[in-house]
Amino acid sequence: MVLTVDDDPAVGRAVARDLRRRYGDTHRVVRADSGPAALQALEELTVRGERTALLLADHRMPGMTGVDFLEHAMDLVPGARRVLLTAYADTDAAIRAINDVDLDHYLLKPWDPPEEKLYPVLDDLLAGWAATALPSFDGLTLVGHQWSPRTQEAKEFLARNAVPYRHVDVRSDDAARLLAAAHLEAGPEQLPVAFLPDGGVLTAARPRQIAERVGLATTAGRPFYDLVVVGGGPAGLGAAVYGASEGLRTLLVERSATGGQAGQSSRIENYLGFPHGVSGAELAQRARDQAVRFGVEIVTTADCVGVTPRGDGREVRFDDGGSVASHAVVLATGVSYRRLTAPGLAGLTGRGVYYGAAAHEAVNCTGQTVHVVGAANSAGQAALFFAGLADRVVLIARGDSLRRSMSEYLVARIEASENIEVRTCTEIAGARGGERLEALCLRDQRTGTTEVAEAGWLFVFIGAAPRTDWLGGAFVRDERGFLVTGPDLVDRAGRPPAGWPLGRDPYLLECSVPGVFAAGDVRAASIKRVASAVGEGALAVSLVHRYLEGL
């Protein structure tokens, strides 16, 4: 539903007319002539189950201004996009409303022609809403134990690949009815059970099985490509989009879900072009859609086990025994969060201990205490995200100040938050729990003293470990496993690395194997930011072209 509010009948009709002309086939357009009337309509329609995608309110209305209406409406439909209609004289009020009511956009009246001044703005806002809104449920039902790592693995895979699903705890009456109807027992070896929209049932469901049944490609569609991109994070998506848009037959290979580590971020606020921030999941979905539009073939749940030269081409091998060949390869496998090694934590992974934001579990944290470990931007964003749900968030950092590694705008917001407690010079010394996490042992590094704190949720954002162990010895890495590229491969005497077969030095992002390029976090000395990763992905494609011209 799209709801528009304006006390001027002529303007109200004009707004509704333009909206119906563009969006009438997909959205119900509702018109109100005052803020109170709009709130009443919004309440009634929300109770009836209608979902509100967009609110457009005129600013100058008697009794209740547009800003006041949008502020009240936030409580009813917090996910709706908010637009203020205003005259030039009220621009200052509109700018203030960006912070006061989290305004998404303001439009100056008149907006003729709507094809230039109205529809492009609303198209983008509605697309953003659709990417994050909970769909009317007609998807997969997953029956499993809330504190089972295998159930958590399936839930994370479904959530990160934007597959509509609902989780039903195996101990519930709903689960009993579903399992009885399918003539299944609830034994641990059969969980999780996936009930598919087409009526099919998967027992002991794993991500690859689920992917095959819900329509995600798990194998490549052809034997040869111009470009194979390994890794679907910002760098990989950037390379795939630019490669395909420039005419290269492009395959993107991803182990789990597009977006990489950035896709697990609850909010990215310093990425160019998103003044209000964007969730990692939404950014990843937008980039994936863009890649598909340009013709990129995307394969998921595919694990690469090797890249080797084959004449002028490069062969990429998979763990299922398959392989594809290509002219060039871009390695954009990113990094993973380092695992905590304190006693008791390993056995609680997926049972209260999570690496990354685990957004699919966020709603279960409502009203509870959440512990977050880390001192970089990802940890700061997670702390702020959970602070909107939990009663209390404890942010644990080993350093003596968040400002050493976290952006100032995040530090300021954390310090201003009433329910975020920052514990610096503190580390996790241990954990305990039965079915799930129950307590953490916290050590103060200054005094050496420890304390035991009740804890049910721990989200970890520490360090960065590249996944490059699957690459052979021909690839030069630094002491931490990051790929060395370009000029860094050339020694002080100007000699390329041993085994380099070409008469030129490696190109800027080229690895020690010609025709294989590294982009993003997996590359040694890279800047660990989303924007730089996307830029390196694009740059890698330009270097691929240069490499192909020399063949």
Determine the 3-state secondary structure of 534 from DSSP.
helix
Same domain assignment for residues 39 and 83: yes
The percentage of residues in the chain with a pLDDT greater than 70, rounded to a whole number, is 97
Question: Which residue range forms the structural domain that includes residue 87?
Answer: 2-132
Determine the 3-state secondary structure of 265 from DSSP.
coil
- Report pLDDT for 103: 85
Say how many CA atoms lie within 13 Å of 544 toward its Cβ.
Answer: 33
In a domain, 219, yes or no: no
- Pairing between β-strand 353-355 and β-strand 369-373 as defined by DSSP bridges: unpaired
Look up the CATH number of the domain holding residue 367.
3.50.50.60
Same domain assignment for residues 229 and 330: yes
Same domain assignment for residues 470 and 443: no
pLDDT at 87 over 80: no
In a domain, 211, yes or no: no
Confidence of residue 290 (pLDDT cuts 50, 70, 90): very high
The stretches of 227-364 forming alpha helices (DSSP H) are 234-245, 280-293
- Report pLDDT for 137: 52
Confidence of residue 493 (pLDDT cuts 50, 70, 90): confident
Which pairs count as long-range contacts for 41-47, CB under 8 Å and 24+ apart, including other chains? 41/3, 42/3, 42/73, 42/76, 42/77, 43/76, 45/1, 46/76, 46/77
DSSP state for residue 523 in the 8-state scheme: B
In a domain, 216, yes or no: no
Sort 200 into a burial class: Cβ within 10 Å, 0-12 / 13-18 / 19+.
Answer: exposed
pLDDT at 47 over 60: no
pLDDT at 28 over 70: yes
CA dihedral 363, 364, 370, 371 (to 10 degrees): -100
In a domain, 401, yes or no: yes
Q: Of the candidates 132, 154, 176, which is a domain's last residue?
A: 132
Cis peptide before 192 (omega within 30 of 0): yes
Question: Mean pLDDT in the chain?
Answer: 91
How far, CA to CA in Å, does 242 sit from each of 27, 230, 540, 545?
Answer: 33, 15, 9, 11
In a domain, 375, yes or no: yes
Alpha-carbon span 423 to 536, nearest angstrom: 35
Domain count for the chain, please give it.
4
Which pair of structure tokens corresponds to residue 225? 């490509």
Return the top range by mean pLDDT from 74-88, 175-189, 267-281, 298-312. Answer: 298-312
Confidence of residue 320 (pLDDT cuts 50, 70, 90): very high
Same domain assignment for residues 429 and 454: yes
List pLDDT tens digits, range 494-530.
899 888 999 999 999 999 999 999 999 999 999 888 9
pLDDT at 275 over 90: no
pLDDT at 98 over 80: no
List pLDDT tens digits, range 209-227.
999 999 999 999 999 999 9
Is 314 in contact with 325 (CB distance < 8 Å)? yes
47-56, 375-384, 462-471, 533-542: the lowest-pLDDT one: 47-56
pLDDT at 46 over 80: no
Cis peptide before 501 (omega within 30 of 0): no
Same domain assignment for residues 106 and 119: yes
Confidence of residue 48 (pLDDT cuts 50, 70, 90): low
Confidence of residue 386 (pLDDT cuts 50, 70, 90): very high
Q: What is the DSSP string of 63-113?
A: SS-HHHHHHHHHHH-TTSEEEEEE-GGGHHHHHHHHHHS---EEEESP--S
Alpha-carbon span 362 to 386, nearest angstrom: 7
- Report pLDDT for 251: 98
List pLDDT tens digits, range 128-166.
898 877 655 567 999 999 899 999 999 999 999 989 899
Alpha-carbon span 322 to 82, nearest angstrom: 49
Same domain assignment for residues 516 and 414: no
In a domain, 215, yes or no: no
Alpha-carbon span 14 to 10, nearest angstrom: 6
- Report pLDDT for 136: 54
Which pair of structure tokens corresponds to residue 381? 């964003």
- Report pLDDT for 138: 64
Same domain assignment for residues 36 and 120: yes
Q: What is the DSSP string of 417-453?
A: -TTEEEE-SEEEEEEEESSSEEEEEEEETTT--EEEE
Q: Please give the average per-residue pLDDT across 109-134, as a whole number.
A: 86
List pLDDT tens digits, range 442-458.
999 999 999 999 999 99
pLDDT at 278 over 80: yes
Sort 150 into a burial class: Cβ within 10 Å, 0-12 / 13-18 / 19+.
Answer: middle
Q: CA 224, 226, 231 angle in degrees (round to 5)?
A: 90
Same domain assignment for residues 437 and 410: yes
Is 442 in contact with 431 (CB distance < 8 Å)? no
Same domain assignment for residues 544 and 405: no
Region of residue 412 (left: phi > 0; alpha: psi -120 to 50; beta: else): alpha
Same domain assignment for residues 329 and 297: yes
- Report pLDDT for 49: 62
* Type and span of the H or E element at 144: strand 140-144
